[in-house]
Structure 1
Amino acid sequence: MLADKQKEKLNEFRNVFIEYPIITTVFNDFDRLRLGKGLAGEKPCMLLNGDTGVIPPFLMEAICRISVV
């Protein structure tokens, strides 16, 4: 069993987000799509693909944390 302090540190570690260059590129693309919504013509879109239950939810949670609506 873990001590309370160890559990706290483990929870802090679970919330760590390391932004790799490819993730920065993806976030920039999302921002471009989100902020370009007022442009004329067809609205831009992006298909997010990944292993079920891992990448798409993780990316969406990270985007929601850093995006200003």
Structure 2
Amino acid sequence: MRVRGLVEAAAEAIRPAIETAGLRLTLDVDEHITLVQGDGEQLERVVLNLLGNAVKFSDPAAA
């Protein structure tokens, strides 16, 4: 599974929540980490969960 694609897909899925919360998301994926071995759906779920928590617990004023 390509890391950058996984992170970009998760970011696009959560983008409406980010915009509604008045937040900004900047992706910075290390180009040296190209592939990871694992269940793509589960890895995407983990990234979505992390991004969702970031949106939920971030202060838009601090963004």
Bigger Rg over Cα:
1
Higher RCO (C-alpha 8 Å, min separation 6): 2
TM-score for the superposition, normalised by structure 1: 0.32
